[in-house]
Amino acid sequence: MKRFSALLFLIFLTAQSSSTLAHAVVMDYSLKIAPVQANQPAQVTLNFNSKIEVGLSQVFLVSEGDKHKTLAIHKGDQQGQIVVDIPPLTAGQYALRLKVLAADGHLTEDVIHFTVSQ
């Protein structure tokens, strides 16, 4: 019985540790050091803690009035990196809404708010 209990405990610990590492989490993004300039196209780099299925992921630009526009994304130079193409924007408040599929199959959603100024 002790052996069975130990085995169940080990399975529980393994399941818990893999579930905490399963979701793609944004670790860093280029908006922190390179803000989007008004009326100019830009690219935003998003760095995740795990490999991303870029072809099965989506990024939306959210503008005033909760308007959503799908943005083009492509794989970055590093593993777990996505580059988002931002169209020219007028000054204002915006957000990037992410629906990202990690390579292990877990879907993660996140929102990154940013300001475009003159």
Structure confidence by residue, pLDDT tens digits, 64-96: 999 999 999 999 999 999 999 999 999 999 999
pLDDT per residue as tens digits for the range 22-68: 689 999 999 999 999 999 999 999 999 999 999 999 999 999 999 99
Q: Judge whether residue 115 has pLDDT over 80.
A: yes
Q: How far apart are CA 39 and CA 87, in angstroms?
A: 8
Q: pLDDT-derived band of residue 2, with 50, 70 and 90 as boundaries? A: low
Return the amino acid letter for 46.
L
Taking the C-alpha atoms of residue 53 and residue 33, their distance in angstroms, rounded to an integer, is: 26
pLDDT at 19 > cutoff 70 = no
Please give the residue that has the higher pLDDT: either 5 or 2.
Answer: 2
Q: Is 106 helix (H, G, I), strand (E, B) or coil?
A: coil
Higher pLDDT, 9 or 118: 118
Class of domain 23-116: mainly beta
